[in-house]
């Protein structure tokens, strides 16, 4: 009876330890990043800078959170694969009631003559009721599969983390470009508002000159046409900013029903527009190259595993049996007959139908594929880098020229407007000067944000995006 109580206590202890580990594994940190916001005047709508938008996206974007969960899944998978490195403890028991007891047959010996007769007698050494609880403990000593799992476990976690890093780099790039698109449209709206204000003043001046008999009706009508065109462009830009905000919210993981304004410092933006184009391209800094190296390392572990899979598996085991027997069920636990044993188990794969050799051949071929993937990736990275560098240099030069054009267009418009008021030139010259001014301003803004976008592409191509 004492042995039976010990067995029950051991089983309860094992179950309690497993339950404690399971409960601790369920603890998840649910803390979220709360971003500071700036406000403009009395407006209660938060104004977020580019950095704040990126920081918010890195916490709330669904793709990032999925990749972070995949890292935890990789850790859990490694724990599952390595669980057999720890001792395996199992408890089981059989309750048996014999309907007909087995007999042990033996020949009958004649004691007077010492000869053996041809008759046999059957006797039973068992009782009707039997209960046999058993505790089994096994420990893997050497197993090629477990050795492979242990060596590849850190690489699988690294691989999952690199997927997260890749998602973060993509997110920083897309959020930055979307942020710049919103700013571009807002700046276009400001330019078009100024243009509409100028054209409204021109329309009023043309109307008064027409009423005063200084100019004919066509000047007034042309001024009205220009104003209507500007109003249409302004309305279109105002409508376009709404879906652009929606795209930015989607990339950030921002609630669609909530609103925010974008905040930026033009001076700082112009300071940060420059980048050192003399830097040398380093393939190792690209996350895609790092991911490929991790895949090659995992493939190398797999090749080594198939090379050593012919090795035997060795494990140790210990069994403890506590047998209870009695013909009367109510007295089954009155007496116990314990026994125990310890031993080693050896399993040697002798012939598996060339399973190991074929797997080894396939793993080596897959290794060659990764080598060619590296060659192709280097070519892709170089193409991306040269394209991004050319676009950045070309648009930067274009930006500098357009900046001069804006200054000249403003001066030309001022002079032509003054000449028109003095009656020196026709109103067509004013329209042409106004058209050149608005075109140069819009072109300059487009070029500015195009250079900012090109800078993001160049940083991404060189592997210099930080998060």
Cα–Cα distances in Å, from 283 out to 107, 180, 201, 209, 280?
87, 28, 57, 67, 10
* Beta strands 116-123 and 104-109, pairing class: antiparallel
- Contact of 306 with 148, CB cutoff 8 Å: no
Residues 72, 78, 79, 81, CA torsion sign? positive
- Contact of 319 with 142, CB cutoff 8 Å: no
Element (H, E) at 52: helix 50-60
- Tell me what pLDDT residue 23 has: 34
Decide: helix, strand or coil at residue 259. coil
Residue 111 DSSP label: T
Structure tokens at 348: 């040697």
d(CA 77, CA 159): 13
How many degrees, rounded to 5, is the angle at CA 432 between CA 426 and CA 434? 110
Just give the CATH number of 37-83+144-311+354-462.
1.20.1600.10
**pTM confidence score:** 0.79
Predicted confidence pLDDT, tens digits, the chain (467 residues): 433 444 444 343 433 334 333 333 333 232 333 333 333 344 578 899 999 999 999 999 999 999 999 999 999 999 999 998 999 999 999 999 988 887 765 554 454 455 544 445 455 567 888 999 999 999 999 999 999 999 999 999 999 999 999 999 999 999 999 999 999 999 999 999 998 998 888 888 777 777 777 767 777 788 888 889 999 999 999 999 999 999 999 999 999 999 999 988 877 788 888 998 889 999 999 999 999 999 999 999 999 999 999 999 999 999 999 999 888 888 888 888 899 999 999 999 999 899 999 999 999 999 999 999 999 999 999 999 999 999 999 999 999 999 999 999 999 999 998 888 887 888 888 888 988 999 999 999 999 999 999 999 999 999 999 88
d(CA 164, CA 141): 36
**Phi, psi values for residue 31, rounded to 5°:** -65, 140
Decide: helix, strand or coil at residue 395. helix
d(CA 31, CA 389): 40
Question: Domain ranges in the chain?
Answer: 37-83+144-311+354-462
- Contact of 148 with 301, CB cutoff 8 Å: yes
d(CA 41, CA 31): 31
d(CA 322, CA 66): 50
55: CB partners within 8 A, 6+ apart: 33, 35
Query: Which of 250, 205, 246, 243 minimizes the C-alpha distance to 223?
Result: 205
d(CA 109, CA 303): 68
- Tell me what pLDDT residue 467 has: 83
- Contact of 284 with 377, CB cutoff 8 Å: no
Cα–Cα distances in Å, from 32 out to 35, 56, 58, 89?
9, 10, 11, 40
Cα–Cα distances in Å, from 385 out to 178, 272, 449, 466?
21, 20, 19, 17
d(CA 172, CA 448): 19
**Phi, psi values for residue 341, rounded to 5°:** -155, 155
Structure tokens at 196: 């509409």
d(CA 226, CA 437): 13
Structure tokens at 435: 């058209």
d(CA 135, CA 340): 9
Structure tokens at 408: 């000249």
Structure tokens at 96: 């048996």
| Residue with token string 């669609």 | 256
Please give the sequence-ordered ranges of beta strands (E in DSSP) within 276-379, or none if there are none: 313-326, 336-347
d(CA 119, CA 108): 6
- Contact of 182 with 50, CB cutoff 8 Å: no
**Phi, psi values for residue 101, rounded to 5°:** -75, 140
d(CA 332, CA 351): 49
Decide: helix, strand or coil at residue 45. coil
């Amino acid at each position: 009876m004492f042995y039976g109580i010990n067995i029950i206590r051991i089983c309860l202890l094992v179950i309690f330890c497993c339950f404690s580990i399971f409960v601790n594994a369920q603890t998840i940190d649910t803390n979220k990043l709360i971003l500071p916001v700036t406000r403009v005047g009395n407006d209660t709508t938060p104004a977020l800078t580019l950095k704040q938008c990126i920081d918010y996206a890195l916490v709330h974007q669904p793709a990032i959170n999925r990749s972070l969960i995949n890292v935890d899944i990789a850790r859990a998978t490694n724990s599952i694969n390595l669980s057999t490195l720890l001792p395996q403890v199992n408890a089981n028991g059989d309750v048996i009631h014999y309907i007909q007891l087995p007999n042990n047959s033996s020949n009958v010996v004649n004691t007077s003559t010492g000869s053996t007769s041809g008759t046999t007698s059957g006797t039973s050494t068992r009782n009707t009721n039997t209960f046999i609880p058993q505790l089994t403990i096994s420990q893997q000593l050497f197993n090629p599969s477990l050795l492979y799992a242990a060596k590849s476990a850190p690489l699988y976690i690294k691989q999952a983390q690199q997927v997260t890093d890749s998602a973060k780099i993509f997110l920083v790039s897309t959020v930055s470009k979307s942020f710049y698109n919103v700013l571009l449209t807002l700046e276009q709206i400001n330019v078009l508002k100024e243009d509409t204000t100028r054209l409204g003043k021109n329309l009023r001046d043309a109307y008064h000159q027409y009423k005063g008999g200084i100019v004919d009706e066509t000047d007034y009508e042309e001024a009205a046409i220009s104003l209507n065109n500007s109003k249409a462009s302004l309305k279109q830009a105002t409508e376009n900013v709404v879906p652009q905000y929606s795209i930015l919210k989607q990339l950030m993981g921002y609630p669609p029903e909530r609103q925010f304004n974008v905040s930026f410092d033009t001076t700082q933006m112009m300071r940060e527009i420059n980048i050192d184009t003399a830097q040398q391209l380093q393939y190792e800094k690209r996350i895609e190259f790092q991911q490929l190296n991790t895949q090659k390392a995992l493939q190398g572990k797999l090749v080594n595993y198939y090379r050593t899979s012919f090795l035997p598996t060795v494990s140790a085991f210990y069994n403890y049996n506590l047998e209870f027997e009695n013909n009367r069920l109510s007295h089954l636990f009155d007496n116990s007959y314990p026994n125990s044993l310890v031993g080693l188990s050896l399993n040697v794969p002798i012939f598996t139908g060339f399973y190991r050799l074929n797997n080894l051949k396939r793993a080596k071929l897959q290794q060659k594929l990764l080598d060619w993937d590296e060659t192709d990736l280097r070519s892709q990275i170089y193409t991306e880098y040269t394209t991004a560098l050319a676009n950045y240099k070309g648009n930067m030069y274009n930006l500098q020229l357009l900046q001069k054009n804006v200054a000249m267009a403003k001066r030309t418009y001022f002079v032509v407007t003054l000449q028109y008021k003095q009656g020196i030139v026709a109103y067509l010259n004013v329209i042409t000067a106004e058209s050149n001014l608005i075109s140069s301003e819009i072109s300059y803004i487009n070029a500015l944000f195009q250079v900012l976008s090109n800078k993001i592409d160049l940083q991404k191509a060189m592997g210099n995006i930080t998060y």
